[in-house]
Amino acid sequence: MRLALLIAAVLAMPALAAPQFAEADLGAVLQGPQRSAENRARDVYRHPVETLTFFGLRPTMTVVEITPSGGWYTEILAPFLRDRGHYIAAGSFPGSENGAKAVAKFKAKLDADPGSYANVTVTSFGKDHYDIAPAGSADMVVTFRNIHNFFIGGYAPEAFQAFYAALKPGGVLGIEEHRLPESAPDAMQDKSGYMKVSTVRHLAEAAGFKFVAASQVNANPKDTHDYPKGVWTLPPTYQEGDTDRARYAAIGESDRMTLKFVKP
């Protein structure tokens, strides 16, 4: 009788929420030797702990990063997911000469530190090449400061469809992107590197995603969004060279949206 009552009591207890990762653990990864000094210096602008916490990252997830480029977030995500999760880097399609060079350089980075990058899969992503991960296999897809490239390249709808296909139901799409004020002309999105939140939301929702929330963690009120070489005028690119460099350095990196979507 007592056993039956005990079982009944246990069954009646509310289910415990899935454990979240400790920010201290992610902070330890940020201090790891796999990160370059140059990349560490940008933490003040990119807020990786706050950004990944907002997206809901956990160490057991399969995470696809779209266009990791030089691997700024690879240095964080791959070691964090190494033991219990899986990091998939959907990089440039190697069919072009530049794409092949980018993929080779990225793979060389991984090969140089097998301890940090022991559980990394590299897949292809680009116009007409969207096999980023097996359908329905990913817990999270993230992309940082890349939506303007897909938009300018004319394949943003297809990109978002690929993100949707790769995710499990309930999976998260996390986006960080240079933010253009809603009052600015739409045409600025064609060349400035900035995107409107409304445009990004439309692209995601048209692909089937449900908007969850926005964070201001990567906002920069000093950014006036109106530079000679677009967003690339600001650090870290400084496309104007030494012209007004001190002014742009004082502004810092761009004002950015940080958006979270879910696949229903």
pLDDT tens for each residue of 210-253: 999 999 999 999 999 999 999 999 999 999 999 999 999 999 99
Report residue 71 as tokens.
């691997």
Q: What does the buried/exposed string (b/e) look like for 15-53 if buried means 16 or more CB atoms within 10 Å of the residue's CB?
A: eeeeeebeeeebeebbeeebbeeebeeeeeebbbbebbb
pLDDT recorded at residue 25 = 87
Q: Which of 93-97, 124-128, 137-141, 205-209 has the lowest mean pLDDT?
A: 93-97
Single-letter residue type at 40? R
pLDDT band at 24 (very low <50, low <70, confident <90, very high): low
Answer whether residue 171 shows pLDDT above 90: yes
CATH number at residue 80: 3.40.50.150
Beta strands in the chain (DSSP E): 62-66, 86-92, 120-125, 138-144, 167-180, 195-196, 210-215, 256-262
Boundaries of domain holding 208: 23-28+45-221+255-262
Q: Rounded to the nearest 10 degrees, how much is the dihedral formed by the CA atoms of 216, 55, 144, 159?
A: -120
95 lies in a domain? yes
pLDDT band at 198 (very low <50, low <70, confident <90, very high): very high
pLDDT recorded at residue 240 = 97
Cβ atoms of 194 and 230 within 8 Å: the answer is: yes
pLDDT band at 16 (very low <50, low <70, confident <90, very high): very low
The C-alpha atoms of residue 153 and residue 168 are separated, in whole angstroms, by 27
pLDDT recorded at residue 14 = 35
Strands 210-215 vs 138-144: parallel, antiparallel or unpaired: unpaired
For the chain, give the percent of residues with pLDDT over 90. Answer: 83
236 lies in a domain? no
pLDDT band at 7 (very low <50, low <70, confident <90, very high): very low
Structure-token match 């990913």, residue found: 138
For the chain, give the mean pLDDT.
Answer: 91
Average of pLDDT values for 133-154?
98
CB count, 10 Å around CB of 179? 24
pLDDT recorded at residue 75 = 97
244 lies in a domain? no
249 lies in a domain? no
DSSP string, 36-73: -HHHHTTHHHH-HHHHHHHHT--TT-EEEEE--TTTTT
Tally the domains of the chain.
Answer: 1
Cβ atoms of 195 and 189 within 8 Å: the answer is: yes
246 lies in a domain? no
7 lies in a domain? no
pLDDT tens digits, one per residue of 59-106 = 999 999 999 999 999 999 999 999 999 999 998 766 678 878 888 899
DSSP state of 82: T
174 lies in a domain? yes
Q: What is the pTM of this model?
A: 0.90
pLDDT recorded at residue 80 = 96
Average of pLDDT values for 138-151?
98
pLDDT recorded at residue 23 = 63
Strands 210-215 vs 256-262: parallel, antiparallel or unpaired: antiparallel
Answer whether residue 8 shows pLDDT above 80: no
The C-alpha atoms of residue 250 and residue 75 are separated, in whole angstroms, by 27
More confidently predicted of 72 and 14 = 72
18 lies in a domain? no
What are the backbone angles phi and psi of residue 68, rounded to the nearest 5°? -70, -10
